[in-house]
A and B are shown apart, each in its own frame.
Chain A
Amino acid sequence: MTTKEALINYCLRIGDTSLILGQRMSEWCSNGPILEEDIAMTNIALDHIGQARTMLTYAGELEGKGRTEDDFAYKRHEREYFNSLLSERPNGHFGDTVARNFLQSAYFYHLYNALTSSKDLMIAAHAAKSLKEVTYHLRHSAEWVVRLGDGTDESKDKIQTSFDEIWEYTGDLFEMNEVDELLLKEGIAVDQKNIKAVWDKTINEVLDRATLQRPKDAYMHSGRLNAIHSEYLGHLLAEMQFLPRAYPDAKW
């Protein structure tokens, strides 16, 4: 594997996770529990999609085969996507979304923070810009975790269950393979063990404030690194890719 191939894969991991999470958040449009949250969540969706555009465009440039961000987004199938398993989890109820977003945003926050020192200037710049957006995403979801956890008996019950049920998808975030090893040597990637350490701190602080229990680490699903996904991704892509696939010559 060449450095360039590894770098393309690394960009897709970040870009695909942003794209899938953006698509999930866009599903809240007109469905938010209150108007302000509807706008907040669609704003967040746009932030994620914007981040995806940068990384997918860069991947296309590196590849040099003329693939654009649209080609990456609309013409790949599930086994070519490198997003985290967490990002494709369904929205569920508001608490499910809050729990998923909190865990994923905390990951992005620490990842981007570390990547601002990447030797690849494009990734470093992208990380610096995205860090501002993700800081807000983390604040937004963390505050909701606290309010739902330290809320009524019903809200606490529900959000605790939300965390219990998605915990087994968090291990996937921190796995590494030869792509990471290669890019670590070049100073481009970051050690996921370090990310996990600070991620744990953030998660524990907020769960504590929310008077929630951190679920025990038991069986962990795996798949991001090899583009092996849950059944959910197929349905999500079918919806997301329908228009360009049905009307391949459409222009807008």
Chain B
Amino acid sequence: MSNNINDNQGDVWEVFVQSKPGLPHKHAGSVHATDKEMALQNARDMYTRRNEGTCIWVVPLDAITSSLPEDSGSFFDPADDKAYRHPTHYVMPEGAKHI
């Protein structure tokens, strides 16, 4: 189950930390661990030493699907030159400014 056959430190887990309630979790780094309880504890020890965190998520690396660099052209470029897709010409009413 390890990502690397010679590695006996456990699997890799990606760590996401929420610094204040309501804010999105931000990727903080990764840890090695053999199971989810250990991953959570290791993430707490490694990534909340100095900053306050209010919540930690740990995700096994295998559960994450990532786009590849060679996809960036077909995935992201087309949105650039389509001004009609961006709501820049719409004026927000006064009362709705802080939605």
Judge: A and B partners, yes or no. Answer: yes
Which 3 A-B pairs have CB atoms at the shortest separation, nearest pair first? A36-B42, A40-B45, A34-B9
Q: B31: which A residues are within 8 A, CB to CB? A: 36
Q: Does residue B49 face the partner (Cβ distance < 8 Å to A)?
A: yes
B2 at the A/B interface (Cβ < 8 Å)?
Answer: no
Q: How many A residues face the partner with a CB closer than 8 A?
A: 11
Contacts of B54 in A (CB 8 A): none
User: By the criterion CB–CB under 8 Å, are B37 and A36 in contact?
Assistant: no
Say yes or no for B38: interface residue by CB 8 A criterion.
yes
Closest to B34 in A: A147
- The residue in chain A whose Cβ has the minimal distance to the Cβ of B38 is A143
Contact, CB under 8 Å: A43 / B49: yes
Given the contacts A34-B9, A34-B32, A39 and B46 also touching, CB distance less than 8 Å: yes
Given contacts A139-B41, A140-B41, A143-B38, A36 and B33 within 8 Å (CB-CB):
yes
Question: From residue 136 to 167 of chain A, which have CB atoms closer than 8 A to chain B?
Answer: 136, 139-140, 143, 147
Chain B residues within 8 Å of A147, by CB: 34-35, 38
Interface presence of A250 (CB below 8 A): no
How far, in angstroms, from A147 to B46 measured CA to CA in the complex?
21
Q: Which residues of A contact B44 (CB under 8 A)?
A: 136
Most chain A CB inside 10 Å of its own CB: which residue of B34, B35, B42:
B42
**A237 → chain B, closest Cβ, in Å?**
28
Which residues of B are found within 8 Å of A43, using beta-carbon distances?
Answer: 45, 49
**Set of chain A residues within 8 Å of B32, measured between Cβ atoms:** 34-36
Q: Smallest CB–CB gap between B30 and chain A, Å? A: 10
List A32-48 residues whose CB lies under 8 Å from chain B: 34-36, 39-40, 43
Cβ of A136: which chain B residues have Cβ within 8 Å of it?
44
Query: Could you list 12 A-B pairs, sorted by A, with CB under 8 Å?
Result: A34-B32, A35-B32, A36-B31, A36-B42, A36-B46, A40-B41, A40-B42, A40-B45, A43-B49, A143-B37, A147-B34, A147-B35
| Per-residue contact bits, chain A 11-42, to B (CB 8 Å; 1 contact, 0 not) | 00000000000000000000000111001100
Within 8 A of A (CB), among B40-70: 41-42, 44-46, 49
| A35 partner residues in chain B, CB cutoff 8 A | 9, 32
Shortest CB-to-CB span from A142 to chain B, Å, is: 10
Q: What chain A residues lie within 8 Å of B35 (beta carbons)?
A: 147
- The CA-CA distance from A40 to B49 in the complex, in Å, is 10
**Which B-chain residue is minimally distant from A143 (CB atoms)?**
B37
